[in-house]
Amino acid sequence: MPDISANTAGIRSPNPFWLASAPPTNSGPQIMRAFDAGWGGAVWKTLGQPIQNVSSRFGAIPWGGRNGVGFNNIELITDRPLESNFREMAEVKKRYPKHAVIASLMVETREEWKEIIKRSEDAGADGLELNFGCPHGMCERGMGSAVGQEPTVNARITSWAKEFATVPVLVKLTPNVSDILPHGLAAQAGGADGVSLINTIKSIIGVDLDTMVPRPLVNGRSTNGGYCGVAVRPIALHMAAALARDPRFNLPISGIGGVANWQHAVEFLLLGSSSVQVCTEVMLRGYRIVEDMIEGLEGYMRKHQIETLDGLVGRAVPAYTEWGELDLNYETVAKIDANKCIGCQLCVTACHDGAHQCIHPNPDGSLRVPIVDESECVGCNLCQIVCPVEGCITMEPVDNGYAPATWNLHLTEDAALRPKKGSH
């Protein structure tokens, strides 16, 4: 059995699956139920000066008749008294000493940081997560993403936290920036032990067409909220990987954003995260999803004969490179497996209207298997994406006789490039 115990910046947990700071970690009883279900760690719902929330708070994008492919919220940090939170935190730590309990924190002044860090550590927190990410409400009060968007403020507050903390400190970054790197480096400069990302993305989830008010509706008005759920995973993966592959950035990463199952979690691990946090999928389907995440991860590691998480974390990072380092002479063409084709011709339409007009209906009108004009196919793979039959359209490499050549090599060493296809 592979060992899936995890360690992010010295915060250890029986597995890499943590609950992100959000409603599923609102209280001690919830977190204990989550640990019973199998979660390895929990980042407590952000603690600070308790706030007052609005109703409604959530919006969701449906796809294929089901809600929640994308999710957004206008909820703030904890609305519960700090005493209750810390009392419950101590109780959780007493009952679950091996699980990771991380206190997510958001306050303003140096004194407040000092005080809340002390109380967190007294309650037994295994680590701290500084919430520099909340993109609504709190930033209007000078906290959350207002901190995360200013590298100097980020570094300053991080250094305060490091001054007061004895347990590891993670900085939770906001994705509401054009380039994540300076913000990750600011946390590093402030002395952080690790980073977690992403928090939610500034968004308007939609507009209620009957009332003509954006969603979620709060007594005839709305506001921008934080976007999350499976739809944000590509953005989150990119940001986590952008840090993981930069040689100047050396901190451990806890990956967050759009994880709904073990496969998504493995993607984060492969791109350099050593733990993975989940919020939306748990809100939608419950703590029970972790059973499959654990089994799926173990099954994957067995299949690839990987014994510990270290053998997995970051394995995909070296293959993530600049566009200028990609081989321009690598050529593929689409191949349609006539035995698998069901004749929907979605590829014909996609290629004609959205690509390079080189998949044609079969000239033999009695057959619906389309024909690829390989001399024109640019190998974009749009047809493969629209094909509903797995393995029916494959992208097959073509030997064009050219040695591999990147754009960068072409610029620096005048490497020969193959003739362009489909550009007449």
Partner 1 sequence: MRPLPPDRSELSFTDGKPPLSPLQAATEANRCLYCSDAPCIKACPTGINIPEFIRKIATGNLEGSARTIFDSNILGQSCARVCPVEVLCVGDCVYNALGVPPIQIGKLQRFATDAALARGPLPYAAGPDSGRSVGLVGGGPASLACAHRLRRFGHRVTIYEARAQLGGLNVTGIAPYKLPSADGLAEAEAVLAIGGIDVVTGVSVPTDLSWATLLDRHDALFIGVGLGPDSRLGLEGEGLRGVMGAVAFIEQMKLGQVNLRGVQTAAVVGGGNTAMDAVRELRGLGVPDVVLVYRGDEAGMSGYRHEWEGARKLGVRAAFRRQPVAFEVAEGAVTGLRLAPLGPDKRPLGVDPELLPAQLVLLAIGQGTLGHLVEGLDGVQTARGRVVADAAGRTGNPRVFVGGDCKNGGKEVVNAVAEGRDAAVAIDELLRRAGAEVA
H or E element at residue 131: strand 127-131
> Who's near 187: CB < 8 A, 6+ residues apart?
154, 155, 158, 171, 173, 195, 251
Kindly state whether residue 194 participates in binding ligand FMN, applying the rule CB under 6 A. no
CB of 282 to ligand FMN, least distance (A): 8
**Residue 112 or 331 with smaller CB distance to ligand FMN:** 112
Sign of CA dihedral 219, 225, 228, 231: positive
- The residue count for binding ligand FMN (CB under 6 A) is 28
H or E element at residue 378: none
Kindly state whether residue 259 participates in binding ligand FMN, applying the rule CB under 6 A. yes
What is the separation of C-alpha 16 from the centre of its chain, rounded to a whole number of angstroms? 14
Burial class, 26, CB count within 10 angstroms (exposed 0-12 / middle 13-18 / buried 19+): middle
Among 27, 30, 104, 176, binds ligand FMN (CB under 6 A): 104
CA 259/CA 177 separation, integer angstroms: 21
Residue 35 interface partner, choices ligand FMN, partner 1, none, CB cut-off 5-8 Å depending on type: none
Kindly state whether residue 77 participates in binding ligand FMN, applying the rule CB under 6 A. yes
CA distances from 314 to 58, 242, 245, 255, 303 (A): 34, 12, 9, 12, 18
Residue 23 interface partner, choices ligand FMN, partner 1, none, CB cut-off 5-8 Å depending on type: ligand FMN
- Asked if 258 contacts 233 with a C-beta cutoff of 8 angstroms, the reply is yes
Among 85, 203, 222, 280, binds ligand FMN (CB under 6 A): 280
- Asked if 297 contacts 30 with a C-beta cutoff of 8 angstroms, the reply is no
CA 79/CA 76 separation, integer angstroms: 8
**Residue 10 or 286 with smaller CB distance to partner 1:** 286
**Residue 213 or 235 with smaller CB distance to ligand FMN:** 235
Residues from 371 through 410 that contact ligand FMN (CB under 6 A): none
Kindly state whether residue 172 participates in binding ligand FMN, applying the rule CB under 6 A. yes
Read off the tokens for 377.
Answer: 């196919």
Pick the closest to residue 10 from 170, 179, 199, 176 (CA basis): 170
Residue 316 interface partner, choices ligand FMN, partner 1, none, CB cut-off 5-8 Å depending on type: none
CB of 57 to ligand FMN, least distance (A): 7
Residue 85 interface partner, choices ligand FMN, partner 1, none, CB cut-off 5-8 Å depending on type: none
Residue 22 interface partner, choices ligand FMN, partner 1, none, CB cut-off 5-8 Å depending on type: ligand FMN
Among 134, 279, 383, 392, the active-site one is 134
In sequence order, the β-bridge partners of residue 381 are none
Pick the closest to residue 148 from 161, 163, 158 (CA basis): 158
CB of 75 to ligand FMN, least distance (A): 4
Question: Of how many residues is the chain composed?
Answer: 424
> Who's near 381: CB < 8 A, 6+ residues apart?
332, 334, 395
CB of 290 to partner 1, least distance (A): 11
CA 392/CA 379 separation, integer angstroms: 15
For binding to partner 1 (CB under 8 A), which residues are involved? 261-263, 285-286, 288-289, 291-292, 295-296, 299, 389-390
Kindly state whether residue 149 participates in binding ligand FMN, applying the rule CB under 6 A. no
Kindly state whether residue 68 participates in binding ligand FMN, applying the rule CB under 6 A. no
> Who's near 112: CB < 8 A, 6+ residues apart?
none
Residue 185 interface partner, choices partner 1, ligand FMN, none, CB cut-off 5-8 Å depending on type: none
**Residue 98 or 288 with smaller CB distance to partner 1:** 288
CA 412/CA 296 separation, integer angstroms: 45
According to DSSP H, which parts of 5-150 are helical? 28-37, 82-95, 110-122, 145-148
CA 365/CA 252 separation, integer angstroms: 59
Taking contact as CB under 6 A, which single stretch among the options 27-35, 131-139, 178-186, 387-395 is the one that binds ligand FMN? Answer: 131-139
Kindly state whether residue 23 participates in binding ligand FMN, applying the rule CB under 6 A. yes
DSSP 325: G
Kindly state whether residue 252 participates in binding ligand FMN, applying the rule CB under 6 A. no
Residue 343 interface partner, choices partner 1, ligand FMN, none, CB cut-off 5-8 Å depending on type: none
Kindly state whether residue 102 participates in binding ligand FMN, applying the rule CB under 6 A. no
**Residue 167 or 336 with smaller CB distance to ligand FMN:** 167
Active site residue 380: no
Kindly state whether residue 278 participates in binding ligand FMN, applying the rule CB under 6 A. yes
Catalytic residues: 134
- Which stretches of the chain bind ligand FMN, using CB under 6 A? 20-23, 45-46, 71, 73, 75, 77, 104, 131, 133-134, 172, 199-200, 226, 228-229, 232, 256-259, 278-280
